[in-house]
Amino acid sequence: MILRLLQLAIWMTILTTTALNASEIKSDEAITYFPTNGYYNERSAEWRIPIHGWIYEAEYDSLWRNGAMALLKLRLGLEDGMDGSEHLKARGWPFIVDNERGKALSIAFSDTSLTLHPSEANGHFHGEVTLQEKGMLQLDLEPWIAFTTVMPEGDNRSFTASVQLLSPTGLSVISDIDDTIKHSHVLDHEELLKNTFIRDFKAVPGMSQQYRKWQQQEAAFHYVTGSPWQLYPALSDFVVQHDFPRGSFMMRELRIKDRSLIDFLGSSFDYKVSAISELLQRYPLRHFILVGDSGERDPEIYSEIAKRYPKQIRAIYIRNVTDEKASDERFKQLFTELPDTRWKLFNRAEELE
């Protein structure tokens, strides 16, 4: 009943209330939507629901794309028919698809639709639904709602978008992925390549159980990773297969043909600080648990976040993958202003609270 009320409010207050407009998508093109977070804007007294997706064409018959995959196979020492070939195709091909720019897509809510901004050079597109019903804030909202793409006549495929609706108050868990909940071995580049492209993803023991405990405390989840959006389908499947709670994703942009490649090769520090800061600013009354690992710069990133938003950070948990100690100089300097009860360097998930 509550979900039906929410959908009705969306239908009545959607930005575009014209008849359904078909999306500009061809039969050989596909769409991937990324889960986002709906939030309440107190200043304007309205709910805002961001939409983010990606439109592309796989082009499996492309000579240069098949050549690129052959080179990647050679780099990984992988021959046809070997274990890992299917993983490589599923995880590697999104990096070399033909991104579709300038495509205006429409998403449907019953008999109305919203036309999103045209896709950019990397195929990504964005839009936002605004709910102006003041009473929405008092509703016991369903955590997720799904929207459907308006397809051209004769195209019976279905592409849906999911948005996590968060109340202004509550608990959220911001989690890294690589070496935090999934074994990646980021510090060993050869192992990282193989673990990313040709091996089964392996979960860190006990982490999904701990995350579900937080979920039982009505925590929402946000996966903030330095991995590029091209890996979202594989990482989303990993979250489901290993029974981690459903959550929104924030990932880095990577397009081989522009400056995003140079930016991607640099540190993820600025990207993660910016992404997490935006999340905390959208939900100033929520409290957050930050979970990462010691392999790269999660401790430094979370320390910076705690300095900027001290009242919102309930706890910081760092998985120890570098054989460090909480008393080491790195951690003493980073968390010197935080009480010992607010941060922990842990080796096993059972040590978390």
206 has a pLDDT exceeding 70: yes
| Residues 134, 140, 144, 150, CA torsion sign | negative
The residues, any chain, with a CB within 8 Å of residue 299's CB and separated by 6 or more, are 292, 318, 330, 331, 334, 335
Does residue 341 share a domain with residue 207?
yes
Q: How many residues does the chain have?
A: 353
Same domain, 79 and 151: no
**Mean pLDDT rounded to a whole number for the chain:** 87
212 and 265 share a domain?
yes
Do 84 and 221 sit in the same domain of this protein? no
Tokens of 259: 């400056």
Amino acid at 338: L
- pLDDT at residue 13 greater than cutoff 50: no
At position 165, the amino acid (one-letter code) is L
The kind and range of the H/E element at 37 are strand 36-41
Asked whether residue 236 carries a pLDDT value surpassing 50, the answer given is yes
Average pLDDT, stretch 237-262? Answer: 83
Q: Tell me the C-alpha distance between 322 and 333, whole Å.
A: 17
For the chain, how many structural domains are there in total? 3
Residues 319 and 227 placed together within one structural domain of the fold = yes
**Residue 232 confidence (pLDDT):** 97
pLDDT at 223: 98
Domain end, chosen from 95, 115, 148, is at: 95
Same domain, 75 and 155: no
DSSP 68: H
Q: Is residue 210 domain-shared with residue 255, that is, in the same domain?
A: yes
Res. 318: pLDDT tops 60: yes
Rounded Cα distance, 131 and 75, in Å: 50
| Tokens representing residue 127 in the block | 């839009």
- 151 lies in the same domain as 75: no
Domain CATH for 281: 3.40.50.1000
**Count of CA atoms in the C-beta half-sphere (13 A) of 267:** 10
Q: Is the pLDDT of residue 128 over 50?
A: yes
Asked if residue 253 and residue 195 are part of one domain, the reply reads yes
* Average of per-residue pLDDT across 137-155: 77
Is residue 8 located within the same domain as residue 121?
yes
| 305 and 229 housed in the same domain | yes
Domain of residue 72 covers: 63-95
Residue found under tokens 């849906």: 160
CATH of the domain at 135: 2.60.40
Residue 261 has pLDDT above 80, yes or no: no
Of 48, 80, 95, the residue at which a domain comes to its end is 95
324 in the same domain as 234 = yes
At which of 111, 144, 165 does a domain end?
165
